[in-house]
Amino acid sequence: MVRVSVFGIGYTGTVSAACLAEQGHQVVAVDIDPAKVASINAGRTPIVEERLDELVSTNHAAGRLSATTDIAEAILNTDVSIVCVGTPGEDTGAIGLSYVTALCRSIGAALVERKGHHSVILRSTLVPGTMESVCVPELERASGLKAGTDFGVGYFPEFLREGTAVADYFEPCLIVYGAMDDPTMAMLRELNASLPGEHHAVDMKTAEMIKYTSNSWRATKITFANEIGNIAKSVGVDGQAVMKILCSDHEVAMSPYFLRPGFSFGGSCLPKDLRALRFLANSNDVAAPLLEGVLEANENQIARAEALVKRFEGRTVGMVGISFKPGTDDLRESPLAALASRLLDGGYEVKIYDPSVKAAYDEGMSGAGRGNDRIGDLPERLVGDLKDLIALSDIIVVGHRYKEAVAPLSALIGDKPMVDLARIAPGVVTGDAYEGICW
């Protein structure tokens, strides 16, 4: 059993804290937001994520999971700190490090009073070299101690997908970590010992680069599939059929999850990390035309969806889904939110069916509406019953393929104007009153 403090009760932090506690470790989650701390201490999750509510509740009840706003207290009473605060993108595209640097300074100050070895491990997404050039110097300046000698430092990127994060944690697709010192490397091995799959112990800069490479590769595959789908449709070919056959070639390790023509990518990672990697390349005078093209093509897919809506008559649009991904309430850089904003600006009335987002608002979760910077009156636009949404709408936009929505929406194909971004009925292609974005 390891005593762990997890800094940041956001998406990655909450999942990491709950799963570490489930593994039997003693975990204290730390955040400056009293509402999030109160949520954990009441045995409730502050965000929507499958199985997370159960893990938070059971581990809090078992005494393995608690939360605090007191950074020093957390450092003094744990063996390792895991930093999961956000690194939002700046207007230039550069990675935003204000949360990371502020927390490194606070942790460094607390380390002065800490007796015995303590490791500081970051999970926040950082461009290659950030640990060495920013995090370590900040920790050393604030503590007056020597990293790698007086305290440990490591980097442990996460590869959790929202909506399946708990399953991803316990059955990881990739385990990568790096450290400056042997005790921290040993700590990382212990924290991951029970997890299946190959463990990749590398230097910190390589670990940072693997995280960006993974996210950029996933984003690139989505855009590639969309472009193929758009071209295929233009010549009367089903783009999904093309990509499905291409993905049967497992020898080149193509993942069908991403190589499936559809709508734009979004969320807290892929757009931001692509911009940051592009910024890094430009800063080092390295040409990166594909990264430029991926971001442009992703925006084009949103414009394409808007154009498809405008082909139909009617002024009330019912959107099925508004979060960036089904099964989560996260709206950070959601392409569906961007589409809704475009339609609102164009004079359309927009109604929205999204069970996870509505649940977050209805239950008063502290994270409700996180990432929403496009729809000011979002709660008022949410409709709890799909039948009501259908009745209110002139045009249906299918953004997410919810199980309960498949049958009623499939029954509407050809009868009610529909723009399908998620393929509600496999095999159906564009026809009367129905537009599939890539088929």
> Residue 141 belongs to a domain with what CATH number?
3.40.50.720
What does the pLDDT look like over 224-274, one tens digit per residue? Answer: 899 999 989 999 999 999 999 988 887 765 677 787 899 999 998 999 999
164 within domain boundaries: yes
Domain count, the chain: 2
171 within domain boundaries: yes
DSSP string, 9-49: -SHHHHHHHHHHHHTT-EEEEE-S-HHHHHHHHTT--SS--
119 within domain boundaries: yes
pTM of the model: 0.86
268 within domain boundaries: no
What pLDDT is recorded for position 249? Answer: 85
Instruction: Report the relative pairing of strands 316-320 and 395-398 from DSSP bridges.
Output: parallel
What pLDDT is recorded for position 254? Answer: 64
Residue 162 labelled as part of a binding site: yes
Buried b (16+ CB within 10 A) or exposed e, 141-161: ebbebebbebbbbbbbbbbbb
78 within domain boundaries: yes
Decide if 302 contacts 262 (C-beta within 8 A).
Answer: no
In angstroms, the Cα distances linking 384 to 151, 234, 279, 356, 406 are 51, 37, 41, 10, 16
Residues 47 and 184 in one domain: yes
Residue 260 labelled as part of a binding site: yes
322 within domain boundaries: yes
Domain boundary among 143, 174, 204: 204
Catalytic residue list? 269
83 within domain boundaries: yes
What does the pLDDT look like over 152-169, one tens digit per residue? Answer: 999 999 999 999 999 999
Domain boundary among 204, 235, 259: 204
Rounded CA-CA distance 135/153 in Å is 9
Residue 170 labelled as part of a binding site: no
In angstroms, the Cα distances linking 202 to 151, 153, 177, 209 are 19, 13, 6, 11
Burial of residue 240, with CB atoms counted within 10 A of its CB: 0-12 exposed, 13-18 middle, 19 or more buried: buried
Residue 325 labelled as part of a binding site: yes
Residue 52 labelled as part of a binding site: no
All residue ranges of the chain with pLDDT < 50 are: none
What pLDDT is recorded for position 373? Answer: 92
Domain hosting residue 67, numbered range = 3-204
Domain boundary among 172, 204, 236: 204
Residue 263 labelled as part of a binding site: no
421 within domain boundaries: yes
Residue 315 labelled as part of a binding site: no
What pLDDT is recorded for position 257? Answer: 79
pLDDT more than 70, % of the chain: 99
Residues 37 and 141 in one domain: yes
Residue 36 labelled as part of a binding site: yes
